[in-house]
């Protein structure tokens, strides 16, 4: 049996980090078992779903590095949902209801006032033909509910352990609206059966749905998949993430310049007892992923943690992994440049600023009290090709000849050569700046 998981977003908005977690878990779990990961677009809400959001979801997944083996959209499968609906209807498991939303709301309020749970009372099952005719004359069209068995549904959840849902305590789920459109429940089940999904991995907000969905799957002759319902993710201060969708959308994170692996490293471990580690490659995350490590407490997400991990990922990144992007940025070839500067990066894009220090134009900064020192430094600059050894030779010689040391020895040189008080180690920068530019800058010339 090939493990098959699916990530099933609705293309009605941008993905946020909570969605990324669902996608990542589905991906890591499937790939950890040589399985397949499927992207399903839950676009039955035709008014709110857009092609642009669907494209944006694909862009976000590509950025995260979550390659899917197959993709399809629910709006291409209305015939299959219709057929499943008829199959359930033929078994007497679907019934027509005529209540308006207002009537349902009043019913719920009356139940609550009487201290009863607001469970749908199945009044529609008692309607006489006359009443149905009257509704039809009033122009009411029915919505449809799935008739739950009233028994207990039990499954062994990979995250939550044994789960038991008493369907008698639930309202029969509405599966089709009065305008004929589909709610999420039935299409999802039909797709999970047809696309041979073996594991449904999703947030714990779907636990109750799973009870009804298992009954529907079985009524349709399918086998229930294994379920894993992971805890929800909260903002670091305990607030709901979805309220801040704007600031935590994947698009925003991507635009902020962080590495996708920083986000992946964090969200793969949040909500587990395992420490968050900066992980360079997806293969390592796949190897280290274990669903049983997920706890039931909410996972707390702090965007600052992504930034911190990002720096650690860059500091550990091998030249080979960085090389294609460095080449695009016009950085000098070879591991020397990367190894010399990576420790100074917070974001990969900082490379641009460092390249600017090397290539110029840089406006040298030479303080009045350092003028003579910089003139002496120019005289002492090793002639010809500068190497990684040049900086220490040069500054050792200057230390001897001028008696300067520490900051007073190094800082004027850094400021003259880069125009900045901070930056990567000069030992690495000096050979990259090169002899001619170094001379010009020590003479105070922009270059």
Nearer to ligand GLU, 216 or 430 (CB): 216
Residue 247 CB, nearest approach to ligand GLU (Å):
20
The minimum distance between CB 286 and ligand GLU, in angstroms, equals 21
How far apart are alpha carbons 28 and 68 in whole angstroms?
11
Q: In whole angstroms, what is the distance from residue 189 CA to residue 223 CA?
A: 10
Question: Closer CB to ligand GLU, residue 58 or residue 399?
Answer: 58
Question: Which residues sit at the interface with ligand GLU, rule CB under 6 A?
Answer: 8-10, 42, 184, 188, 202, 206
Query: What single-letter DSSP state applies at residue 97?
Result: E
Determine the Cα–Cα distance for residues 309 and 300; give it in Å rounded to an integer.
15
Find out whether 289 and 28 touch, Cβ atoms under 8 Å. Answer: yes
Q: CA-CA-CA-CA torsion for 157, 162, 168, 171, nearest 10 degrees?
A: -30
Closest CA to 429 of 327, 356, 350: 356
Q: Which spans in 207-293 are helix H? A: 207-219, 250-255, 260-269, 282-288
- The minimum distance between CB 219 and ligand GLU, in angstroms, equals 18
Residue whose structure tokens are 């002639």 = 383
Q: How far is the CB of 205 from ligand GLU (least distance, A)?
A: 7
SS3 breakdown of the chain: % helix, strand, coil, rounded to 5? 50, 15, 35
Q: Which is nearer to ligand GLU, 10 or 310 (CB)?
A: 10
φ and ψ of 76, to 5 deg: -90, 0
CB closer to ligand GLU out of 14 and 265: 14
Compute the least distance from the CB of residue 295 to ligand GLU, in Å.
20
Report, in Å, the least distance between residue 38 CB and ligand GLU: 11
Q: Which is nearer to ligand GLU, 188 or 231 (CB)?
A: 188
Nearer to ligand GLU, 40 or 404 (CB): 40
Contact 162, 154 (CB under 8 A): yes
Spatial CB neighbours of 67, under 8 Å, sequence gap ≥ 6: 37, 61
Q: How far is the CB of 103 from ligand GLU (least distance, A)?
A: 27
- Report, in Å, the least distance between residue 279 CB and ligand GLU: 25
Say if residues 61 and 212 touch (Cβ distance below 8 Å): no
Please say which residue, 36 or 310, places its beta carbon nearer to ligand GLU: 36
Q: Say if CB 303 and CB 330 are below 8 A apart.
A: no
Q: Residue 80: exposed, middle, or buried by beta-carbon count in 10 A (0-12, 13-18, 19+)?
A: middle
Is 187 or 364 the residue whose CB approaches ligand GLU more closely? 187
Smaller CB separation from ligand GLU, 209 or 262: 209
Q: How many residues does the chain have?
A: 447
Beta strands 299-301 and 174-176 are unpaired
How many Cβ atoms sit within 10 Å of the Cβ of residue 28?
Answer: 24
Q: Which is nearer to ligand GLU, 197 or 417 (CB)?
A: 197
User: For residue 390, which phi and psi values (nearest 5 degrees)?
Assistant: -60, -40
Nearer to ligand GLU, 224 or 377 (CB): 224
What DSSP element (H or E) covers 388?
Answer: none
Alpha carbons 442 and 347: distance in angstroms, whole number: 30
- Least distance between ligand GLU and beta carbon 10 (Å): 5
Smallest gap from Cβ 206 to ligand GLU, in A, equals 6
Beta strand 161-166 pairing with 152-157: antiparallel
The least CB distance from residue 16 to ligand GLU, in Å, is 11
């Amino acid at each position: 049996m090939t493990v098959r998981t699916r990530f099933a977003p609705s293309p009605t908005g941008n993905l946020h980090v909570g969605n990324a977690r669902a996608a990542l878990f589905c991906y890591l779990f499937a790939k950890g078992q040589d399985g397949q990961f499927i992207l399903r677009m839950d676009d039955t809400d035709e008014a709110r779903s857009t092609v642009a959001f669907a494209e944006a979801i694909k862009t976000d997944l590509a950025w995260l590095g979550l390659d899917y083996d197959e993709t399809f959209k629910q709006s291409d499968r209305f015939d299959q949902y219709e057929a499943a609906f008829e199959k359930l209807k033929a078994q007497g498991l679907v019934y027509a209801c005529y209540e308006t939303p207002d009537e349902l709301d009043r019913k719920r309020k009356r139940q609550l006032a009487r201290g009863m749970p607001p469970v749908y009372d199945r009044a529609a099952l008692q309607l006489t033909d006359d009443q149905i005719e009257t509704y039809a004359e009033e122009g009411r069209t029915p919505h449809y509910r799935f008739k739950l068995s009233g028994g207990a549904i039990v499954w062994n959840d990979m995250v939550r352990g044994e789960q038991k849902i008493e369907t008698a305590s639930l309202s029969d789920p509405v599966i089709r609206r009065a305008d004929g459109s589909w709610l999420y429940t039935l299409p999802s089940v039909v797709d999970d059966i047809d696309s041979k999904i073996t594991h449904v991995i999703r947030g714990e907000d779907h636990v109750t749905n799973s009870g009804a969905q298992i009954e529907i799957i079985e009524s349709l002759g399918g086998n229930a998949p294994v379920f894993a319902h992971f805890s929800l993710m909260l903002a670091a201060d305990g607030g709901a993430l979805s309220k801040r969708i704007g600031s935590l959308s994947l698009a925003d994170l991507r635009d902020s310049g962080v590495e996708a692996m920083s986000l992946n490293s964090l969200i793969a471990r949040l909500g587990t007892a395992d420490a968050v580690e900066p992980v360079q490659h997806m293969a390592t995350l796949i190897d280290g992923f274990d669903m049983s490590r997920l706890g039931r407490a909410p996972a707390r997400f702090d965007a600052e943690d992504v930034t911190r991990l990002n720096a650690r990922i860059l500091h550990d990144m091998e030249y080979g992994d960085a090389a294609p992007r460095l080449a695009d940025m016009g950085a000098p070839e070879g591991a020397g440049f990367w190894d010399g500067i990576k420790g100074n990066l917070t974001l990969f894009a900082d490379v641009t600023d460092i390249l600017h220090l090397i290539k110029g134009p840089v406006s040298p900064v030479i303080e009045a009290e350092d003028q003579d020192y910089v003139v002496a430094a120019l005289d002492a600059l090793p002639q010809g090709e500068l190497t990684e050894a040049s900086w220490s030779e040069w500054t050792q010689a200057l230390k001897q000849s001028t008696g300067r040391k520490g900051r007073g020895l190094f800082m004027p040189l850094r400021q003259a050569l880069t125009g900045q008080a901070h930056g990567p180690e000069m030992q690495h920068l000096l050979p990259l700046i090169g002899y001619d530019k170094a001379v010009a800058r020590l003479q105070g010339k922009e270059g």
